Amino acid sequence: MAAIEAEGLRKEYGDVIALDGVDLRAEEGSVLGVLGPNGAGKTTTVRILTTLLRPDGGSARVHGLDVVRDAARLRGEIGLTGQNAAVDEALTGQENLILFGRLYGLRRGAAKERAGELLERFALSAAASRLVGTYSGGMRRRLDLAAALVARPPVLFLDEPTTGLDPRSRISLWETIEARVAAGTTVLLTTQYLDEAERLADRIVVIDHGKVIAEGTGAELKDRVGGDRLEIELGDLGQVGAASAALAELAIAPTTLHDGILRVAVAPADGTLVQALRRLDAAGVAVDDLSLHRPTLDDVFLTLTGHSAQDAAADAEEDA
């Protein structure tokens, strides 16, 4: 059963088309990654699905409830973590969670108990009675996520949950999200980080300029790029010809040389690296470094849109 279903979502701001017919579907208990650069329409999609914004066209149901007609009931079934850590800095961590719990309709005692559980689980017990204004970025994000989980919502929306976090905090947040999913929660996660989508999402939709431009599992999207990539740093660039010749039998596309690195597209197969090294050695080519790269989602983005995700993000920021 689909926990999140959207068909033809449209949203316009004056002349700007933020969403141009977005279709989404996430099965219950799965993680849907929505991947795209800044300004692609990810946040607008989340706002519509969490009842914050009315779509100009199309329809969506979350947990079987229509996001427009059943908005009031739906709010009790979802948790939202936005791009900013939306917690009150002038309250303590515990006060924040109790406030949100009570606004979800829990009684005082139940809200307090739930706050305690969540603070414990998110390793914030020691900081429970400190003002959130004194928390580090990672602690705020954890509290923000805890706030979204107060009512044990069956569907969780995470809008760029790790933007601006240090690597350690990111990994710890990923583990928390994975634990929620293991407990049966459906998650929609937006991100501009390709590794984040790969790690967490069962299925990924790629959005650019308000449209879904690709959809599939991480592996399916990678297949679109085709093949793995050998990267060889030669000791002597005079040997480029010899190296290309030695690897000709492995290559599935013409080799390229860029910034002193020879790139050879190869079919995905076991033992490619060893074979390549043997052939180069037999041809007497001196190799400084040799590595095999699986395509990343950045490669996918480049293939799909003709520009890299980072470039698109930079464009979007210039437009803004």
CB of 13 to other proteins, least distance (A): 10
Judged by CB, which is closer to other proteins: 102, or 199? Answer: 102
Positive or negative CA dihedral for 74, 77, 78, 79? Answer: positive
Least Å from the CB of residue 12 to other proteins? 14
Task: Judge residue 223's burial from the number of C-beta atoms within 10 Å of its C-beta, 0-12 exposed, 13-18 middle, 19 or more buried.
Answer: middle
CB of 106 or CB of 181, closer to other proteins: 106
Q: How far apart are CA 273 and CA 276, in angstroms?
A: 5
Going 138 to 139 to 143 to 144, the CA torsion angle's sign is negative
Q: 48 near 55, Cβ under 8 Å?
A: yes
Complex with other proteins: residue 61 or 203, whichever CB lies closer: 61
To other proteins, the closest distance from the beta carbon of 135 in angstroms equals 13
Binds other proteins by CB under 8 A, chosen from 17, 131, 277, 314:
131
Q: Give me the least distance between CB of 100 and other proteins, in Å please.
A: 7
Site string for other proteins, 60-99 (x = CB under 8 A): ------------xx-xx-x-x-xxxxxxxxxx---x---x
Determine whether 272 is exposed, middle or buried from the number of CB atoms within 10 Å of its CB (0-12, 13-18, 19+): middle
CB of 251 to other proteins, least distance (A): 50
Is the CB of 131 or the CB of 304 nearer to other proteins? Answer: 131
Between 131 and 277, name the residue whose CB sits nearer to other proteins.
Answer: 131
Q: How many residues bind other proteins (CB under 8 A)?
A: 30
C-alpha–C-alpha distance, residues 219 and 235, integer Å? 34
| Nearest distance in Å: CB 103, other proteins | 4
251 binds other proteins (CB under 8 A): no
Residue list 30-49, contact with other proteins (CB under 8 A): 47
Among 30, 38, 45, 50, binds other proteins (CB under 8 A): 50
Task: Answer whether 252's CB lies under 8 Å from 227's CB.
Answer: yes
User: Can you state the angle between helices 93-103 and 108-121, rounded to 10 degrees?
Assistant: 130
- Residue with smaller CB distance to other proteins, 105 or 254: 105
The partner residues of 56 in beta bridges, in order of sequence, read none
Please enumerate, as own/partner, the contacts of 214-222 that have beta carbons within 8 Å and a separation of 24 or more. 214/300, 214/304, 218/297, 221/297, 221/300, 222/294, 222/295, 222/297, 222/299, 222/300
CB of 23 to other proteins, least distance (A): 23
Q: CB of 146 within 8 A of CB of 97? A: yes
Judged by CB under 8 A, the residue of 68, 103, 171, 267 near other proteins is 103
- Interface pick for other proteins out of 22, 40, 119, 147 (rule CB under 8 A): 147
Q: Are strands 211-216 and 228-234 parallel, antiparallel or unpaired?
A: unpaired
Binding site for other proteins (CB under 8 A): 47, 50-53, 72-73, 75-76, 78, 80, 82-91, 95, 99-100, 102-105, 131, 147
